[in-house]
C-alpha cells in the first residue's frame, strides 16, 4: 500500500509541476496538446539511488542507471553498468502516453534457474513527465515476490523505488 501511495503521489506531483500541462490557455483545449506531440521521442538517461525497505525498518540503497527510448513503436528500457547497456525484458514493456507524460509498465513471471529454483513474479513501472524538451522527471519502481520461499525469508517479497531526472541523449540510432 505504501508503494502504491508513493507512486500515486509522484504521478500527482509531476502532473501539477509539469510546465507543459500547467496552463492551457485556449478554452476547451486539452492540456496534452500544449507540448509538441513528439516531446518524449528519443533516448533518455539518468542515474539514481534506489531504495528497498527491509522488514527490520531500514532501507538498502543501490545505484541504478537507466536509459529509456521512445519511438512510434513503443518504449524500451535499458539498464547500464560500466558503460555497457542491457535491455530489460526486450519487447515486453507496454507504454501509455498522454502529452508529455508516459507510463511504462510490465508484469511478468519466471523461475529461478536450477533444480530447486523458486517461482518469481514482478511488476515493473516507470512513470515520466517532460520537464523541458531535454529533461524528464521519472519515478522507477519494482515489486517482486518469490511465493515459494519461506514466509520469513526477506526475499519472499520486496520493493525497490527511486526518483530520477533523465537527460536526452544522442545514440547510435539517432535521437
> What would the mean pLDDT of 159-174 be, rounded to a whole number?
87
Three-class DSSP category at 54: coil
- What residues pair up with 2 in beta bridges, in sequence order? none
Residue carrying the nine cell digits 531500514? 58
Buried b (16+ CB within 10 A) or exposed e, 129-140: bbbeeeebbbbb
Q: Output the pLDDT for position 37.
A: 61
CA–CA gap between residue 53 and residue 158 (Å, rounded): 8
Q: Is pLDDT above 90 for 25?
A: no
Q: Output the pLDDT for position 128.
A: 98
Q: Output the pLDDT for position 85.
A: 96
CA–CA gap between residue 105 and residue 28 (Å, rounded): 31
| Four-residue CA torsion sign, 6, 10, 16, 21 | negative
CB under 8 Å to 46, separation ≥6 — which residues? Answer: 65, 66, 136, 138, 164, 165, 166, 167
Q: Is pLDDT above 70 for 19?
A: no
pLDDT (tens digit per residue) in 42-70: 999 999 999 999 888 899 999 999 999 99
Q: Output the pLDDT for position 116.
A: 82
Amino acid at each position: 500500500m505504501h508503494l502504491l501511495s508513493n507512486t500515486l503521489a509522484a504521478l500527482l506531483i509531476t502532473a501539477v509541476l509539469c510546465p507543459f500541462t500547467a496552463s492551457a490557455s485556449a478554452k476547451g483545449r486539452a492540456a496534452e496538446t500544449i507540448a509538441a506531440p513528439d516531446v518524449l521521442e528519443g533516448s533518455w538517461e539518468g542515474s539514481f539511488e534506489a531504495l528497498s525497505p527491509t522488514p527490520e525498518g531500514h532501507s538498502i540503497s543501490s545505484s541504478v542507471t537507466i536509459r529509456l527510448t521512445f519511438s512510434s513503436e513503443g518504449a524500451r528500457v535499458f539498464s547500464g553498468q560500466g558503460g555497457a547497456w542491457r535491455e530489460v525484458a526486450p519487447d515486453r514493456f507496454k507504454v501509455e502516453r498522454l502529452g508529455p507524460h508516459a507510463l511504462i509498465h510490465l508484469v511478468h513471471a519466471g523461475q529461478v534457474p536450477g533444480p530447486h529454483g523458486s517461482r518469481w513474479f514482478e511488476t515493473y513501472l516507470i512513470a515520466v513527465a517532460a520537464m523541458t524538451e531535454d529533461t524528464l522527471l521519472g519515478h522507477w519502481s519494482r515489486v517482486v515476490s518469490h511465493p515459494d520461499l519461506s514466509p520469513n525469508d526477506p526475499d519472499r517479497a520486496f520493493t525497490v523505488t527511486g526518483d530520477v531526472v533523465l537527460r536526452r541523449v544522442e545514440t547510435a540510432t539517432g535521437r
